[in-house]
């Protein structure tokens, strides 16, 4: 296959939004970390994120040579592999910040639950696609729920509530696509309310405190509520046009914790202001719009389900991350796509963009040598 033919079929609007957000993210990571670094190099985080960004862009181009439709036949093996790596975290995983979510491979730290999002989108798309004709009642969806529940449980065990909820968001997006009836959603909501006391008992103490702090950030202003309070101060102090790059006090003076990862949007709010954050949100909206367009125009049901799952994941990540930095959503540790620091998260998001591009190319009847 000729790369020249690939370039002619790329969705450049989607790529522009992705590259713009990645560049903005790297810039903000530099602003957030240049004072507090892990080595003598002030821009260690920037260099590392930039390296993986370039590597992933090349990886995306390579994946375009692969026909995404082959993934449907590989879905069972991928699902089993997903369960194995999630189980491996429980036994050989690296613990940090009170959670066992990472596996150390030499100098690289990987978070398997991030990559499990891709596998869940692929596996669930294939699983539903084979059963779509019989999904005509609430009970017919039970095997689908069971399919998601096992990896959901393993990720919750780490504990990683944010990623577990991502699985649910992906499932909900596909349920809506497949015509899951409104009355069935009401049943699920009712079941959730009834199960709430039981779910509360399985949450860890810090997760319970996050929910309490969401309702009242002043409950522990120097403890669990500190992140949210400092984040809201940072965003609010940016006003309309922001304090300028490298000019944020909350981030520069290290008042804002996790400012280069989960709370990168708060850095954007402080330094770029309302205008800058609006531009960022419009770029995310552009990605979501192009993703939905690809889903609606896919030439096969598997492609439509894949694109829908990817868009559902992006929507959830953006809503939850931006919401928690603004204090209108509980803190869950969900990173902001393309902007938050982290090799695993960036690689996952880039590969999903590659899948969207792959689906888009083949809906345009591109033939391969």
Token pair of 136 as six digits: 């005509």
Sequence spans of domains, the chain: 3-363
Quick check: 263 and 325 in contact, CB under 8 A? yes
How many Å apart are CA 369 and CA 358, to the nearest integer?
16
Q: What is the mean pLDDT of residues 137-161?
A: 88
How many Å apart are CA 85 and CA 95, to the nearest integer?
15
DSSP symbols for 171-186: HHHHHHHTT--HHHHH
pTM: 0.90
The 10s digit of each residue's pLDDT in 245-270 is 887 778 777 778 888 888 999 999 99
Token pair of 174 as six digits: 């596909």
How many Å apart are CA 128 and CA 151, to the nearest integer?
16
Quick check: 41 and 47 in contact, CB under 8 A? yes
**DSSP tally for the chain: helices H, then strands E:** 14, 3
The 10s digit of each residue's pLDDT in 104-113 is 666 666 778 8
Phi and psi, residue 197, nearest 5°: -60, -40
How many Å apart are CA 307 and CA 72, to the nearest integer?
14
Nearest residue to 94 (alpha-carbon basis) of 82, 104, 84:
104
Most confident stretch, 60-64, 152-156, 278-282, 340-344: 278-282
Name the strand (E) or helix (H) holding 164. Answer: helix 161-177
Quick check: 17 and 287 in contact, CB under 8 A? yes
User: What pLDDT is attached to residue 366?
Assistant: 41
DSSP-derived secondary structure letter, 109: E
Q: What is the mean pLDDT of residues 302-315?
A: 96
User: What pLDDT is attached to residue 25?
Assistant: 95
Nearest residue to 45 (alpha-carbon basis) of 22, 63, 66, 27:
27
Residue 158, classed as helix, strand or coil, is coil
Q: What is the mean pLDDT of residues 16-29?
A: 95
């Amino acid at each position: 296959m000729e790369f020249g033919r690939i370039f002619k079929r790329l969705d450049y609007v989607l790529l522009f939004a992705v590259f713009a957000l990645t560049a903005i993210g790297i810039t903000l990571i530099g602003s957030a970390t240049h004072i507090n670094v892990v080595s003598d190099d002030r821009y260690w985080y920037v260099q590392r994120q930039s390296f993986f960004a370039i590597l992933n862009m090349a990886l995306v181009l390579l994946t375009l040579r692969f026909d995404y439709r082959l993934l449907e036949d590989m879905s069972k093996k991928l699902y089993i592999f997903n369960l194995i790596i999630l189980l491996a975290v429980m036994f050989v995983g690296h613990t940090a910040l009170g959670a066992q979510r990472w596996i150390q491979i030499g100098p690289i730290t990987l978070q398997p639950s991030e990559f499990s999002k891709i596998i869940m989108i692929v596996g669930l798309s294939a699983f539903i696609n084979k059963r779509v004709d019989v999904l005509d009642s609430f009970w017919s969806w039970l095997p689908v729920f069971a399919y998601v529940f096992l990896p959901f449980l393993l990720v919750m065990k780490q504990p990683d509530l944010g990623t577990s909820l991502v699985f649910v968001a992906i499932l909900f997006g596909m349920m809506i696509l497949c015509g899951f009836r409104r009355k069935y959603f009401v049943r699920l909501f009712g079941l959730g309310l009834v199960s709430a006391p039981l779910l509360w008992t399985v949450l860890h103490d810090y997760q319970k405190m996050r929910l309490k702090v969401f309702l009242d950030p002043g409950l522990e202003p120097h403890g669990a509520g500190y992140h949210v309070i400092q984040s809201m101060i940072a965003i609010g102090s940016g006003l309309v046009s922001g304090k300028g790059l490298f000019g944020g006090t909350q981030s520069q003076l290290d008042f804002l914790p996790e400012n280069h990862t989960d709370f990168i949007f708060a850095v954007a709010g402080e330094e770029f202001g309302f205008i800058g954050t609006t531009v960022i949100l419009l770029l995310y909206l552009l990605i979501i719009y192009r993703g939905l367009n690809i889903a609606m125009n896919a030439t096969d049901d598997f492609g439509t389900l894949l694109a829908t799952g990817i868009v559902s994941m992006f929507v959830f990540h953006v809503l939850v991350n931006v919401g928690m930095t603004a204090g209108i959503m509980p803190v869950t540790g969900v990173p902001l796509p393309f902007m938050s620091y982290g090799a695993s998260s960036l690689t996952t998001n880039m590969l999903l963009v590659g899948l969207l591009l792959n689906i888009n190319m083949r809906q345009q009847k591109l033939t391969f040598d």
